[in-house]
Amino acid sequence: LLVALLYALRQGYKQWKRKKGRAAEAQPYPSIDTNKLMLIEQIGRGRYGAVWKGVLDECTVAVKVTSLENRQNFLNEREIYRLPLVAHGNITRFIAAEERSGPDGRPEFLVVMEYYQHGSLSNFLTNNASEWECSCRLAHSLTRGLSYLHSEIVKNGDYDQYKPAIAHRDLNSRNVLVRADHSCVLSDLGLAMKLTRRSPVQRGGDDDTSTICEVGTFRYMAPEVLDGAIDLTDYETALKQVDVYSLGLVYWEIFMRCRNLFPEGRAPPYEMALQAELGNHPSFEDVQHFVARERQRPRFPDAWRDDSFMISCLKAVIEECWEHDADARLTANCAEERLAELQSLRSPGPAAATTDTTAAAPTMETN
Ligand code: ADP
Ligand code: MG
Ligand code: MG
């Protein structure tokens, strides 16, 4: 009996090793034939590339085309999308990443992803004011995506898959896309960074503070980044807190377009956070002075009076995200719960009878 048991164990072990080997060898990355990819029209432009609407195997897709100068951004985005367990309902669905030689013979780098018809959140908010439920849905779904990105996951059932905690590092309303059902996906992982490893993280010698911190869009930069005062002894926590600060500004943009929060349902036209205060192209120094020195934030409108329970809850969530003291900020996970609570509260103000503005299709966007 003992011999039989030992034999069975040995066979089991061999089989397990074979499977493990196969899992390690398997090429999980889908490869596409770029000759079959048709680019139809340019729908966006970011800092690192042009984004096209295209067709692949009769499906509409979006394709980010990056040139050689921005190859590093492409490589990083591809690496992050290919990590196990990164796929999530509130993160842009990645289809493939390819290098090819472009029309002029120069190399170009493609990220193929699902096409989201409303384009960026910034575009959506420009074209649509929303009811409370819709604003909450946008904010909650985005937060779900961020909370997931930030989480470290070990899944043992499936040959030991591991997802590190990841910081986005460039969270703003142009890097969030909106689905047809008005839920959001977190997008543009070109600057995202893995924060954990399976073994304790060893910081590389050349990872100095500036390369870790000085990325992102000035307007949405947290005070500690602007001041170069970020505490990197626990950089996992620090970089998540930086993302949550930007999240607070994006919440402000979302709820400033919520009809129920304004008299007669008249939400003001879309504005980026701090646009009223700092204009369209603030310099690093402008934002640093205003946000880090003077500790100012986007202003809440007079209509958001504290005698409404809902509005005071909403303001509290936003303020707890953009707190000056990074340690006092909510985690993305807490923010997700708070948004879920807000969502369950009824609309506070006059629900406007009128429906959306006319523009539905996203216009070409430039960052
Ligand atoms: P960059 O890294 O150059 O900033 P992004 O990935 O942020 O590029 O894309 C730039 C813009 O292109 C976005 O703000 C958005 O307007 C549009 N866009 C990007 N991906 C998609 C997509 N999958 N579906 C629809 N529009 C997209
Ligand atoms: Mg972008
Ligand atoms: Mg980018």
Decide: 62 in ligand 1 pocket, CB within 6 A. yes
Decide: 115 in ligand 1 pocket, CB within 6 A. yes
pLDDT over 80 (residue 100) = yes
Closest C-alpha to 298, from 313, 308, 282: 282
Distance 338 CA to ligand 1 centre (A): 28
Amino acid making up residue 361: A
Nearest residue (by CA) to ligand 1, atom 9, is 46
Read off the pLDDT of residues 277-327 as tens digits, 9 standing for 90 and up: 999 999 999 999 999 999 999 999 999 998 899 999 999 999 999 999 999
Q: What is the mean pLDDT of residues 336-352?
A: 78
Read off the pLDDT of residues 117-161 as tens digits, 9 standing for 90 and up: 999 999 999 999 999 999 999 999 999 999 999 999 998 876 678
Read off the pLDDT of residues 207-235 as tens digits, 9 standing for 90 and up: 555 566 667 789 999 999 999 988 888 99
Cα 183 to Cα 80: distance, rounded to the nearest angstrom: 22
| Residue-wise DSSP of 98-109 | EEEE-TTS-EEE
Task: Determine whether 170 is an active site residue.
Answer: yes
Q: Which atom of ligand 1 is nearest to the CA of 111?
A: 6
pTM of the model: 0.87
Distance 67 CA to ligand 2 centre (A): 15
The predicted pLDDT at position 231 comes to 83
pLDDT over 50 (residue 358) = no
Closest C-alpha to 136, from 318, 289, 292: 318
Distance 121 CA to ligand 3 centre (A): 15
Decide: 116 in ligand 1 pocket, CB within 6 A. yes
Read off the pLDDT of residues 248-281 as tens digits, 9 standing for 90 and up: 999 999 999 999 999 999 999 999 999 999 999 9
Read off the pLDDT of residues 194-205 as tens digits, 9 standing for 90 and up: 999 876 555 544
